[in-house]
Amino acid sequence: MSPFLFWFFALLMLGFGVSVVINRNPVASALSLVASFLCLAALFVGLNAFFIAVIQVLVYAGAVMVLFLFIIMLLDLRAEQRRRFNLVALGGGTLVTLGLVAELASVLNRFPLGRNPFPPLQGSAVDDVREVGMTLFSTHNLPFQITGVLILVATIGVVVLSKRELN
Amino acid sequence: MDFLNSIPWFLMATSLAKTIFLVFLVVLPMVSYTVYAERRVSALIQDRLGPNRTGFPLTLLGFKKDFSPFLGGLGQPVADAVKFLLKEDLTPGHVNKPYFWLAPCLAMMPALVTLSAIPFGSEFMGVKMVIADINVGLLFMFAISSVGVYGIVLAGWASNSKYPFLGGIRSSSQMISYELCMGLSAVPVLLIAGSTGLSKIVDFQVREGWLLAPFTDGNLSLRELLLWVPVGVAFITFTISMFAETNRLPFDLPESETELVAGYHTEYSSMKFALFFLGEYTAMIAGSALIVVLFLGGWHVPFMPDGRAGWVWGLLNIGTFFAKVAGLLFFFIWVRWTLPRFRYDQLMKLGWLYLFEIALVNIFLTAGILALCK
Amino acid sequence: MAYTVPRPKLTFAEKIYLPSIVAGLAITWKHLKRMLTGQTKVVMQYPEEKWDAHMPEHYRGAPTLVTDEHGRERCVACQLCEFICPPRAIRITPGELPTESEFSKVEKYPAGFEIDMIRCIYCGMCEEVCPEQAIFLRKDYAITGTSRAEMLHDKTKLYEMGGVFDGLIHKWNPDK
């Protein structure tokens, strides 16, 4: 990926990320998050990870955020828009964020591997869907199955909870 | 500027040429003529004639006769486009302006972007006839078309009035529900073809015969005969889900005129309305193209050489592909003017209780057949 | 007491809905085919084909005024049509015939007679009410104009459209 495109999408993603937090209108926040996801997907494309990029768009932008938006629109969130900035909270949040960034920077600076460039990827000839599938079903089969059971339990829980009357 | 030097110019130029060809020379004219076909076919089905006399109104300029250079009403789409461009663009005072303006673009864009992964021809002068030949083409189509729902949801919400809102809500829940059925009913195809790349699926069908007509490679094995059952089921469920995804009758609840005036685009006029309209028909074309690629052999003509044998065959392949798409579009229109609209609970019941289960069982059936007959 | 609507028992074929879809598609296909092969009679193609040849006998077109065989205006400005007209499309300005006139016995004539064709509903009441058989509905149906003034038929226009009517027409006489 050319550095130009990387910086373009990375900055765009960060911009939309900030816009998620500072927007007072919940719909605007949700849409910023969608845009941020799309930029992230573009970064994945830049790494030749098409499968991850597409799943990012399909699952997060296409399904999860649609549900979010759906709920936001059904609820009347006028109160959220009227709320004023709380200076103390704002200052505290900024301090915590700056501290986290400083910590990350110092750790990464001391971590030598981070400075070595990765070996170049082997073009787009890799069928990454096949690779992901092979890895999931061979090396990581047990965690995969356990995740499946977990999701099944969650699904049953949702169905039980959303049933109106429990007899 | 080493950034500029790093760009592969040949790839850029051919991609640009293909994009311009596909979008401006094929799909957009196809969209406008699908609208025309919609009106004409609906008229013929209802024993009427439809728009059959569009020409230039020269009598307005003082001439004796109007000039109708087109056969019948073939000039109608041009007239429609001019009308849409010239109409007053009204933005009601109560809407949420930025989103109100954003929504039509979001409705049109994803439908056009999905076209980039479709292999619409074999090879023409040594260039592969697909804009982005990615190995996750099918997932890409699903992903981008799932983003398409934002346009409709935003239109419904930003219009800030009840009918568009109800339309937007209906549309988003309908599209989320049917995306699942659509994805699951495409899985048997992936299992058989062994790839998610659309070009690879077409290549497979060129080698082994179309999935829905496995005899097109000249022979019919027991395996293909057995697979015919799940492929047929997948085709039916996929097509039904496609109808729901593109908001076509019998599932056009988001804009059902009898209940919601015009649904999510009630408050839109002029070119903004036209964008919704174009987006809907482009999505229809992209959906038909996807069905053609998955089940009907893509650009393949049985027992004929493909684009590697010469540019004539390349052109023939492109023509075949769009002929198949046009056939499916006719089917879409035909169904629209035959079936009554579903009730909303019926729609949800069909999606979640029947199609979803059928698609799931179908995957197991396909996997079983594939495992048994190596 | 609640009345339970009996629901019909559906067969399996009816439940899965697909056979009836196919049947419906077959019906619409039949209509399409019959249209394409020209077996269905379609409506009249208006500007090219017109009604003129087969206009029904009882057709009520534009109301007009007529003169008799001596060239006398039949209308005597009694204003009955003006009063009966449901949309009030008729406006008559009565005038007195001068004594030296050949037809001075009639005493009155319409100095102005206007029918507003935007208002006219072609009901024919003016024709029925007229005691002098002066106003008749003709078969003109394409009354068009590019302005309101053009749609206001004045006396000259009405006589021009109506023409001459010979003798008496016994409207109320079934033997006429």
pLDDT in tens, C6-60: 888 888 877 778 888 888 899 999 888 888 888 878 777 777 777 777 788 888 8
At B284, list the tokens.
């229809």
Segment of A27-31, B120-124, B221-225, B281-285 carrying the highest mean pLDDT: B281-285
Question: Which residues of C make CB contacts under 8 Å with B?
Answer: 18, 21, 24-25, 27-29, 31-32, 34-36, 40, 42-43
Q: B219 and chain C: CB distance < 8 Å anywhere?
A: no
- Average pLDDT score over chain B: 82
Buried b (16+ CB within 10 A) or exposed e, B172-206: bbbbbbbbbbbbbbbbbbbbbbebbbbbbbbbbbb
Q: Check CB contact under 8 Å for B334 and C28.
A: yes
pLDDT at position C87:
92
For residue B187, being part of any structural domain is answered with: yes
pLDDT in tens, B139-182: 888 888 888 888 888 888 888 888 888 888 888 888 888 888 88
A114-135 CB burial, b ≥16 within 10 A, e <16: eeeeeeeeeeeeebbbeeeeee
Contact B373, B199 (CB under 8 A): no
How far is the C-alpha of B335 from the C-alpha of B252, rounded, in Å? Answer: 12
Identify all chain A residues contacting B136, using CB atoms and an 8 Å cutoff: 50-51, 54, 128-129
d(CA B103, CA B96): 11
Contacting residues of B for C42, CB less than 8 Å apart: 47-49
Architecture of the domain made up of C53-162: 2-Layer Sandwich (3.30)
Of A4, A69, A127, the CB nearest to B153: A69
Closest CA to B116 of B150, B141, B149: B141
State how many domains chain B has.
1
Query: What pTM, to 2 d.p., does this model score?
Result: 0.78
The percent of residues in chain B predicted with pLDDT above 90, rounded, is 2
Query: Are the Cβ atoms of C24 and B338 closer than 8 angstroms?
Result: yes
Q: Where are the domains positioned within chain C? A: 53-162
Confidence of residue A125 (pLDDT cuts 50, 70, 90): low
Cβ neighbours for C17, distance < 8 A, ≥ 6 positions apart: none
Is A58 within 8 Å of B143 when comparing Cβ atoms? yes
* Alpha-carbon dihedral B362, B140, B135, B232, rounded to 10 degrees: 20
Return the pLDDT at C172. 47
Mean pLDDT score across all residues of chain A = 82
Query: What whole-number distance in Å separates Cα of residue A62 and Cα of residue A41?
Result: 12
Residue A119 to residue C108: CA distance in whole angstroms: 112
Residue A153: the pLDDT is: 95
Of B242, B372, B106, give the one whose Cα is nearest residue A35.
Answer: B106
| Domain presence at residue B358 | yes
Pairwise CA distance, residues B318 & B311, whole Å: 11
Predicted confidence at residue C174, as pLDDT, reads 46
Phi and psi at B202, nearest 5°, equal -65, -45
Answer yes or no: is B35 within a domain. yes
- Please classify residue B286 by burial: count the beta carbons closer than 10 Å to its beta carbon, then call 0-12 exposed, 13-18 middle and 19+ buried: buried
Is the pLDDT reported for residue A100 higher than 90?
yes
| Predicted confidence (pLDDT) at residue B5 exceeds the cutoff of 60 | no
Counting residues of chain A whose pLDDT is more than 70, the rounded percentage is: 82
Top CATH class of A3-126 equals mainly alpha
Provide the domain limits for residue B85.
12-48+70-372
- B161 vs A: CB within 8 A: no
- Read off the pLDDT band of B70 (50, 70, 90): low
User: Chain C contacts of B45, Cβ < 8 Å?
Assistant: 28, 31-32, 35
| pLDDT at residue B7, as a whole number | 63
pLDDT, position A84: 67
What's residue A80's pLDDT?
A: 59
pLDDT band at A165 (very low <50, low <70, confident <90, very high): low
| Residue B87 located in a structural domain | yes
Q: Flag whether B61 is in a domain.
A: no
